[in-house]
Each structure stands twice: as C-alpha cells, then as structure tokens.
Amino acid sequence: MKTKTVITRPPIVTVMGHIDHGKSTLLDFIRKTNIVDGEAGGITQHLSAYEVVHTTKEKKAHKITFLDTPGHEAFGAIRARGAHIADIGVLVVSAEDGVKPQTLEALRILRADSIPFVVAINKIDKQGADVERTKQNLAENDIYLEGYGGTIPWTAISAKKGDGVHELLDLILLVAELEDLQADSALQAKGLIIESNLDTKKGIATTTIITEGTLVKGEFAVSGSSISPLRIVEDFLGRQIDTATFSSPVVIIGWDTMPTVGSEFTCYKTKKEAQEAVLMFTQAKVNPAYVREKNDPTKTVIPIILKTDTAGSLDALIYEISKIGNDRVIVKVVLSGIGPLTENDVRASSNDVNALLVSFHTKVEPQAESLALHSGIKINAFDIIYKLTEWLETAVKERTPSIEVEEMVGRSKILKTFSKTKDKQIIGARVEEGAISVNENVRIMRRDAFIGTGRVRELQEKKQKTSTVQEGNEFGSMIESKIELAPGDKIESFTFVKK
C-alpha cells in the first residue's frame, strides 16, 4: 500500500560508451549548465557522482544523479558496478566512428543488469558526422533505435556545443517516468559505496549513493565490518549537510576502516545497533571465501604488495594485474591498501625474493624509503596504469622459470637391419623429415607406438662417415639401444631445449 512517505525518486544515470566518444565532455557540459545556482565550480574534489537540476519545457525542475564511470578498459569493474546501481543508462556513440569495442562492452553491462537506456549520438558538429550511417551501424550490432526498427530512445547531440543535451535530459526524465521509480523516505538510509579514499586531514571518506530512506546526521553508517558516525556528511559540492535522501550522492567522512568499493551501507540510529550489525556480518563470513587459495606447486608465484591513492585506482589495478601471468607464473596481489606506502609494506615484500613492491599515484613514507634502501628492496612507483602493466609484464617474463622441452629434430624409417652386437645394431634407413646427427638421442616407434629409446653412435652416407644426414637421403648407422630394431620401425631424433 502506497503511503505519503513512498514517493517518486530522482533517477540515477550512468553514462557509458567508447573512451573517445565524448562521455566526459557530455558530463562536463551537463555539470556546468545544470547545477543549482551555477555552483559547478564548487566541485573542488574528484567525485564519481553528482546531482543536477534540469528544468523541462513545462518549467518543472527535476533532480538527476549522474555517475561518472571512467571509460578506460581497466575500469571495467567500476563501470559494471556503476551500471548495477543505475536506473538508466546513456550509451554515447560517436557520429564519426560508430560502434566500437567498448560500446559493445557497455551494452553488454547494461543488458546484463536489465537497465533501460537511451542512445546519445554525439559529435554531430564534426565534419565527418553521419547520423544515418551511425544508426545503421548500431542496427548491425543489435541496437535498434526508435524509428529505425526498434524501441530504444535516442537523440543526436553535440556535447561540446551543447546541441541536443537539453532534449537528452528530457528523454532521461521520460524514461524515468515510465520506470516509475519510487522509494520510502521514512526508512533508515541504505545505499552503495562507489568510491573510498584516505584524506590525510579528515580520515577515511566514501562517496555514496542513497538508494532508500533518509540519512540523518548523528546516526551511524555500517558497511561490512566498517563503522562511521555520521558527524561529517557532505553533499557533492563539499557542503556539510544534516540530511539527505534517495538518489543523492553524499560523502561520509570518519570510517574506522576502509569500506569496500561497491559494497552496501546501512544507517542505524544508535552506535549499539551499528556494532551489532558489524558483529552479525563478521560471524556470517563463510571461511572459504576469505581463505587464500592454495598455490599450484608447479608454478612460480610473484606476490605483489600494492598501495594506491584511491579505491577506484586499487580496483582498476587489481583487475589489470589479474590478466597478467602465464602457464608457469601466477601473479598475485597478496597485500593492498589505500594511502602512502609504509614500512610494513616494505617488510612484507622482504618475505619473498619474487615479491614486487608497487605504489601507484601515492606517496612513500620517508621511513619506508629508508628501510627499502637499506634492505636493497626496490620501490616501483607509477602514475599511469599502462606503464605499470608494461613493466609488470616484463618482470613476469624475467621471473618465468625456464624448462627443458623435448624437441624432435628428425624422423627416419629403418629399411634394413644388419649385424647386432650386444646393445649395438647396424641399420640402413632413410631420413623422412628433418635430419639425423651423431650422438643424438632417438625414440623408437613401431606402428606409431613408442617401444624404447636409443642413441646414434655412427653415421655413414654413401659409405662415407658423416656427422649429419639431411631429409630425403639414405644412410647407414650404428644405433645403441636395448630394443631390437626391425625394418619398418621409425626412429625420431630429439634434443632438449630450454624455454
């Protein structure tokens, strides 16, 4: 039964698409032209969510929350998470380039979570823009727009100039109305943590999206085993607030430990209730999910100790590192965190000769630098993801143990057998493939079945001693083997090479 506290809530929107198709430009234009009182300049910190107010043609003001999900491939996990909490997606496609790999990746994420979306065909101001060709390209990739064989709403825009952006926001609100988004303001606030970082002055801060209820200053927020008193709560402009309700992005400062990005948070009226919730979460942990998997004894493990500036960076790097390795090497992040690299991180890396100590876009404490220098441990510092992954791929190659691989160099067919003395036999044969050389090891095959091994002691070609006989030539040979050879047998010469 609908009550007065169950009301329509603002839509949460994620903007997705290929990296160069104008997502950031679109978000920048919306932010600069639709934030209340022109306060866009008040956003002094990087937030991955913000709220705008859009006034329709009917002069009605509506709030819309946008999630700024980074476009780089490394942030696939964050984009997927953004789509998960979003009500509506905006799929940005360039009118110049059409559908690209990340367009299809974004589409997969939106459809996997059954999120309604609109298509924004961007860059219509460019000389090479062709809206009709882009619509055809979309149809070729199973994206059927309204008026072009499908039902997906769309509009043409120039994110740079702002053409069509007002109509895009109208379209978003229309889709939101059809979705009938509602929530209960009387409930305790719940939501998702979409970013977390360590502020050296204020403490641990999280950017959150409220999905239900009303957040009230003085209560307590819980996420997993982390608690934060709601003493310092800010809106996306950095202004301190006393209350916030669904769809609003808010910053909660003062967590006792770093909450996991993507995890849920719930608010409680008292500290006792919050502590009980943490206790229940801790007791409910299923051990197998928290126990480090056993390493394959046949593989070399390269442990990574990783420190980054933000949870988003950490998430992205763990995703990238998970793709590195080979059939002989496992690359594993065994210790990670947000904030400066410390002495403890250096000590942890000293426990394994293969360990790599990595910092990304974060400081190294002087004590840590001193200890690393004294211990002969290198701190690998990076500011760009692809530079880090290139370096790590090289490090993995250098640490990959070489193995001896048996490699066939020739195959010969025995035509005749002659004398036999103990384990030495004289044979006549022809090289069918490759070559055969003196002192090579050979496998003996009979009707394609392996029956034993031997060694080439002597070779003659045209009654002349030789060291090697090439493919297609006949030869005589002394083979040392305990197996009695017979016409029709094949001998495969092989060697061991390190790879």
DSSP three-state, residue 342: coil
Alpha-carbon span 480 to 426, nearest angstrom: 9
The per-residue pLDDT for range 252-297, each reduced to its tens digit, is: 999 988 887 777 899 999 999 998 888 777 654 433 322 333 445 5
Alpha-carbon span 409 to 493, nearest angstrom: 6
Q: Is the pLDDT of residue 122 over 90?
A: yes
At residue 35 the predicted structure's pLDDT band, cuts being 50, 70 and 90, is low
Alpha-carbon span 219 to 268, nearest angstrom: 6
Alpha-carbon span 409 to 388, nearest angstrom: 40
The per-residue pLDDT for range 347-358, each reduced to its tens digit, is: 888 777 788 999
186, HSE (Cβ side, Cα atoms, 13 Å): 6
How much is the pLDDT for 221?
96
At residue 71 the predicted structure's pLDDT band, cuts being 50, 70 and 90, is very low
At residue 438 the predicted structure's pLDDT band, cuts being 50, 70 and 90, is very high
Contact between residue 278 and residue 222 where contact means Cβ atoms under 8 Å apart: yes
How much is the pLDDT for 298?
62
Q: Residue 447: CB partners within 8 Å, gap ≥ 6?
A: 488
Residue 37 tokens, joined: 């009182």
User: In the chain, what are the domains?
Assistant: 6-182 (3.40.50.300), 185-285 (2.40.30.10), 300-399 (3.40.50.10050), 404-498 (2.40.30.10)
Q: What is the percentage of the chain residues whose pLDDT exceeds 70?
A: 90
How much is the pLDDT for 90?
94
Residue 162 tokens, joined: 């702002």
How much is the pLDDT for 323?
87
More confident: 308 or 279: 308
The whole-number average pLDDT for the span 53-58 is 88
Q: CB atoms < 10 A from the CB of 230, how many? A: 22
Q: Residue 480: CB partners within 8 Å, gap ≥ 6?
A: 423, 424, 454, 455, 456, 457
Q: Is the pLDDT of residue 228 over 50?
A: yes
How much is the pLDDT for 296?
53
Q: Find the length of the chain.
A: 499
Q: Residue 290: CB partners within 8 Å, gap ≥ 6?
A: none
Q: Which region among 44-58, 326-340, 420-434, 473-487 has the lowest average model confidence (pLDDT)?
A: 44-58
How much is the pLDDT for 291?
30
Q: Is the pLDDT of residue 167 over 90?
A: yes
Residue with tokens 């964050």: 78
Sign of the CA dihedral with 286 first, then 287, 293, and 294 last: negative
Alpha-carbon span 254 to 106, nearest angstrom: 34
Residue 428 tokens, joined: 């006549």
Q: What is the percentage of the chain residues whose pLDDT exceeds 90?
A: 43
The whole-number average pLDDT for the span 361-380 is 89
The whole-number average pLDDT for the span 453-476 is 93
Alpha-carbon span 213 to 188, nearest angstrom: 5
How much is the pLDDT for 134?
93
At residue 37 the predicted structure's pLDDT band, cuts being 50, 70 and 90, is very low
The whole-number average pLDDT for the span 325-353 is 83
Q: What is the pTM of this model?
A: 0.59
How much is the pLDDT for 47?
57
Indicate the average pLDDT of the chain: 85
Residue 291 tokens, joined: 């126990």
